[in-house]
C-alpha cells in the first residue's frame, strides 16, 4: 500500500473513532438524555464557552493523535508514538478534559441537573479507565518515555513540572 493510501486510511479510521467515541459520549448521549427538550428550550449563553472550548480542545487532541502519534483515539487503534505535544504538554488526558468541558457546556446551556450528573458520572468513569486501564498499558508500551512523561506532566490539568517537547 502506498504511503498516501495509508494516510487516507488512517484519517478515515481517526474520523470513525471520533464519531464512535466522543461523538456518542459528548454529543449524541447528552442530547438523547434530554430529548425532546432541545427543540423547545433555548440554549443559554452560560454553556457556550465550555462547549466551544471543549470542542476546540477535543479536535486539537484528535489531530495530535493522528499527526504526532500516527493513530486514533480509539483503544483498538491507538497512536503508535507517545503524544507529548500540544495540549499533552499540560495534561496527560486533555481529550477527557475536553469531553468533560463539552458535557459541562451542555449541562450549563440547558440548565440540566441530569446532564450535570451525566458529566460527573462520565468524569468518574474516565478517571477509573485512566488509572486501571490506560496508564498501566502506556507504562508497559512506552517504558521510560512514559515514566518521564508522568514525572513531567500532571494527569488532569496543571503546569508541567518540567519542559516537555
pLDDT in tens, 75-108: 777 788 899 999 999 999 999 999 999 999 999 9
Q: What is the pLDDT averaged over residues 26-46?
A: 86
What φ, ψ does residue 159 adopt, rounded to 5°? -85, 130
Task: Pick the range with the lowest mean pLDDT from 10-19, 26-35, 103-112.
Answer: 10-19
Tens of pLDDT along 137-158? 999 999 999 999 999 999 998 7
HEC profile of 66-125: HHCCCCCCCCCCCCCCCCCCHHHHCCCCHHHHHHHHHHHHHHHHHCCHHHHHHHHHHHHH
**Confidence grade of residue 39 (pLDDT, cut at 50, 70, 90):** low
Question: Can you give the pTM of this predicted structure?
Answer: 0.87
Amino acid at each position: 500500500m502506498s504511503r498516501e493510501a495509508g494516510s487516507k486510511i488512517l484519517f478515515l479510521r481517526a474520523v470513525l473513532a471520533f464519531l464512535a467515541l466522543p461523538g456518542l459520549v459528548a454529543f449524541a448521549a447528552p442530547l438523547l438524555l434530554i430529548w425532546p427538550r432541545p427543540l423547545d428550550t433555548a440554549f443559554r449563553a452560560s454553556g457556550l464557552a465550555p462547549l466551544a472550548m471543549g470542542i476546540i480542545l477535543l479536535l486539537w487532541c484528535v489531530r495530535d493523535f493522528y499527526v504526532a502519534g500516527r493513530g486514533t483515539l480509539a483503544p483498538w487503534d491507538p497512536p503508535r508514538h507517545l503524544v507529548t505535544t500540544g495540549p499533552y504538554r499540560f495534561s496527560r488526558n486533555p481529550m477527557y478534559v475536553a469531553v468533560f468541558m463539552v458535557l459541562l457546556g451542555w449541562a450549563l446551556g440547558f440548565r440540566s441537573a441530569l446532564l450535570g450528573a451525566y458529566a460527573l458520572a462520565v468524569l468518574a468513569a474516565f478517571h477509573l479507565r485512566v488509572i486501571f486501564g490506560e496508564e498501566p498499558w502506556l507504562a508497559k508500551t512506552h517504558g521510560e518515555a512514559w515514566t518521564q512523561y508522568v514525572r513531567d506532566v500532571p494527569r488532569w490539568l496543571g503546569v508541567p513540572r518540567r519542559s516537555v517537547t
